[in-house]
Structures are given as C-alpha cells and as structure tokens.
Amino acid sequence: MSTELIRQVGVLPDGVYFESKSSNDDCPFHIWKCDDLTEIYNKEGQRGLDREIVIMLCEYAEISGNYPSMERYRPCIRPGRALSKRSLDTIWQAYRNLAPEDAATIHNPKEQQTQAAQAWRQFQQDTHEAYRKRLVRLAARLTEKASRDGKGRL
C-alpha cells in the first residue's frame, strides 16, 4: 500500500496544485493540478480544501519536508490519526465480538448477511461517519485560526 508524500500545496488562479509523489514510485516529486480539490475549493473555499487535506493526511498521505504551505496542517495530524486509530479499533473490536458464522457473511450482499452482520456494517458506517465529522471540526479550526491571524489563503 502506498502513501502519497506531499511537499507543497498551492492555490493558483486556475486551481489547486500539489507537489507530491507516491511512496512506492521511483519518479521524483512532480507538480500537478488536482481537479477534485479545485472543484471543492471553488465550491467551498479554504474551509473545504482544509477539510480534504486533513482527511488525506490522516488516512493515506504524509507531509514531506517543511514547506510553509503544509506547516498549517501539522497540528491536525497527530490528533487526526489518533481519531482514526480509535475509530478503527472500535470497529474491529465489534467485529471480533461477532460470532464466526455472522462474521463469515460480512462480505455477502446485504440480503445474504445475518442480522448481526448487518448491524455490524451499520455500526462500521456510523463510526466512520462520526470520525469524519470530528476530522471536519479539526480542520475547521485551521480556517478559523487563519482568519483570525489574517492569513486566509495558502
């Protein structure tokens, strides 16, 4: 499984750009426009961009280097990853509590799952949704702090 290594992020007039590379790729860092984040930035502004970058950094990306555009996200990484770990631990503890015959149906279509497996799937979804909401609140603090400091953009 690879991790996206992100050096910099920038908002230019035509979109959101990253300087990054995959951890399992021998290619050097490269700059590229992220259309998905450009769309989010255009719709939601800095708050939406912060939210998505915090989610990335807590789930499948890392900061590489000490570039100023990424330093604003460092305070979110440790608490965000702790939230992620707690959520996953809670989900897997509930899974371990399933009877083997229920666990065996988890990946079946819903109509072929036991009631306990369906309940676990719902629990998994609810726990993940609650985790994401907490990450959103964590990321919102960045935008609020930047507004108070007079630094609205990257």
Please name the amino acid found at residue 27. C
SS3 17: strand
Closest CA to 4 of 82, 74, 48, 62: 62
- Read off the pLDDT of residues 119-146 as tens digits, 9 standing for 90 and up: 999 999 999 999 989 988 888 887 666 5
- Alpha-carbon gap, residue 40 to 52, rounded angstroms: 9
Task: Tell me which amino acid residue 54 is.
Answer: V
Q: Looking at residue 96, what is its pLDDT?
A: 97
- Quick: pLDDT tens for 45-88: 998 999 999 999 999 999 999 999 998 899 899 999 999 999 99
Least Cα distance to 8 among 52, 72, 77, 51 occurs for 72
- At residue 1, the pLDDT reads 73
Which 3-state string (H, E, C) describes 79-107?
HHHHHHHHHHHHHHHHHHCCCHHHHCCCC
Average pLDDT rounded to a whole number, residues 23-52: 94
Count of Cβ atoms closer than 10 Å to residue 135 Cβ: 23
**Mean of the per-residue pLDDT values of the chain:** 90
* pLDDT tops 70 at residue 109: yes
Residue 138: per-residue pLDDT: 87
Share of the chain above pLDDT 90, in %: 77
Q: What is the DSSP string of 34-76?
A: -HHHHHHHHHHTHHHHHHHHHHHHHHTEEE-S--HHHHTTHHH
Question: How sure is the predictor about 2, in pLDDT bands with cuts at 50, 70 and 90?
Answer: confident
Going by pLDDT thresholds of 50, 70 and 90, the confidence category of residue 149 is low
Q: The pTM is what?
A: 0.79
